[in-house]
A and B are shown apart, each in its own frame.
Chain A
């Protein structure tokens, strides 16, 4: 079967750095998304990786290793507003989007 694994919950301190990992076992790979979802709000796009390496976008970076079936989202200089769920999703060989269950990130002062 197809599977996306993410930690259920993580806690970090304001101003610190946190890395949220995502590992996937899918039938093929055509890209990986990260979305952010604040409680009670719509998921919003953060990043899209299709090639190996690190993509940096301000305080957020996303890394992909296709050979390892692995991605991470790196959040720097954490702010209280970064408290949210972070969803990893992979496009498989049939161009279906497979979602992880999300990682709830709690930021403490």
Chain B
């Protein structure tokens, strides 16, 4: 238990579906992140929120839409995805940024399969 909870853990969706991934952190952190993890590839940072404000969007396609209603919750809205979007999506949080070596706390991830 890392203090970061993600739901659902597994999701299978068609290319025309709309679904959402949810993340909740119980650590009082002010920064939250979405990462994509594909097999044998480095973690890809997708979005960063600091105090509910989006501070980074790493050229992510618009079919991925993040939402951060408060410092404890983060959503990733998915629509018209492609099969290559199938991956593990990890949510993470930190207190402050990583620049001072602050530990990143990850959720267990949502396994997404696009069919």
CB-CB under 8 A for A91 and B99, given A4-B42, A8-B40, A44-B106: yes
Check B42 against A100 for contact (C-beta < 8 Å). Answer: yes
* Size bracket, chain B contacts: 10 to 19
* Size bracket, chain A contacts: 20 to 34
Q: Which residues of B contact A101 (CB under 8 A)?
A: 40-42
* B103 interfacial by beta-carbon distance below 8 Å: yes
Interface residues of B in 76-115 (CB under 8 A from A): 90, 97-99, 101, 103-109
* B74 interfacial by beta-carbon distance below 8 Å: no
Q: Which residues of B contact A8 (CB under 8 A)?
A: 40
* B11 interfacial by beta-carbon distance below 8 Å: no
Give B38's nearest chain A residue, CB to CB: A101
Cβ of A83 to closest chain B Cβ, rounded Å = 17
Among B41, B43, B103, B109, chain A packs the most CB atoms within 10 A around the CB of B43
- In the bound complex, how far is the Cα of B101 from the Cα of A5, in angstroms? 20
Q: How many A-B residue pairs have CB under 8 A?
A: 50
Interface 1/0 per residue, A70-109 and B, CB below 8 Å = 0000000000000000010101000111111110000000
Q: Which residues of A contact B98 (CB under 8 A)?
A: 91, 95, 97
Cβ of A62 to closest chain B Cβ, rounded Å = 12
Check B108 against A40 for contact (C-beta < 8 Å). Answer: yes
CB-CB under 8 A for A48 and B42, given A41-B108, A42-B2, A43-B90: no
* B45 interfacial by beta-carbon distance below 8 Å: yes
Check B101 against A31 for contact (C-beta < 8 Å). Answer: yes
Cross-chain contact of B97 among A33, A87, A95 (Cβ < 8 A): A95
- In the bound complex, how far is the Cα of B105 from the Cα of A45, in angstroms? 8
- In the bound complex, how far is the Cα of B101 from the Cα of A47, in angstroms? 9
Q: Which residues of A contact B40 (CB under 8 A)?
A: 8, 101-102
A residues contacting B by CB (< 8 A) are 4, 8, 30-31, 33, 35, 40-45, 48, 50, 87, 89, 91, 95-102
